[in-house]
A = this chain, B = another copy of it.
Amino acid sequence: MTVLQNIKLAVDAVVFGYTATEGLSLLLIKRDASPFKGTWALPGGLVKDDESLENAVERGFREETGVTINYLEQLYSFGQPERDPRNRVVSIAYYGLVRPDGFNLQASIDAAWFNVKALPALAFDHKDIINIAIGRLKAKITYEPIGFELLDRKFPFSALEKLYQTVLDRPIDRRNCKKKIMKFGFLEETKEKQQLKGSGRPGFLYKFDEKHYFLSKEEGINFEI
């Protein structure tokens, strides 16, 4: 029962970054080949015969952008027959998070960060993929502490608040937010204070205590904001 099959398998990476000044952003590349030559697109590429899907995503992303992904998770697979105008290409999309230091791009690479509210025209069905990724990020950040993967290892509490407000796109009460998050116990206050940039009282820096988190995770936490 040999079946002839002529389908190519690709991966795409929807990678989010966040800084207080830039907001929630996506890293895109400019296509240098047709179709959609010159159009912005998600980084990715074909899967090699002997590499895992995760490896394919990480490799493709690194090759095309020079940036290393910090958190990676499978998003969804896209397989409509017409999604690539030339061949049948099924793409397994992943979404990833990088810390703010990933925002510095090598000048030689044709990649750029775009705020999620100001995305350019996109190749293929990449706009759909991105919309699904944004929805997933919004949903996931409310029940698992993945937000920390978008911040520096140490951060003032206000950065976390702003991140949540940006991702969820609504205001959040500062006091309730802190109460709720501190109750889980996996956020540790360091003795260091924030470096001032402008006026205002400097806050303490916090860090995410991964070990503590994995312990409390077993019992199933409710992280809703």
Contacts and interface: CB of A to CB of B under 8 A. Distances in A.
Interface of A: 1, 3, 5-9, 33, 46-53, 74, 76-77, 79-81, 88, 90, 92
User: How many protomers of this protein does the assembly include?
Assistant: 2
Given A33-B1, A79-B52, A9 B46 contact: no
B5 A46 contact: yes
A6 B49 CA distance: 6
Contacts of A53: 77, 79, 90
Interface of A is mostly: loop
18 contacts: A5-B8, A5-B9, A5-B46, A5-B47, A6-B49, A7-B9, A7-B47, A9-B90, A47-B90, A49-B81, A49-B88, A50-B81, A50-B88, A51-B81, A52-B80, A53-B77, A53-B90, A77-B77
A3 B90 contact: no
A139 B58 CA distance: 29
A80 B9 CA distance: 13
A99 to B, nearest CB: 27
Nearest to A51: B81
Contacts of A47: 5, 7, 79, 90
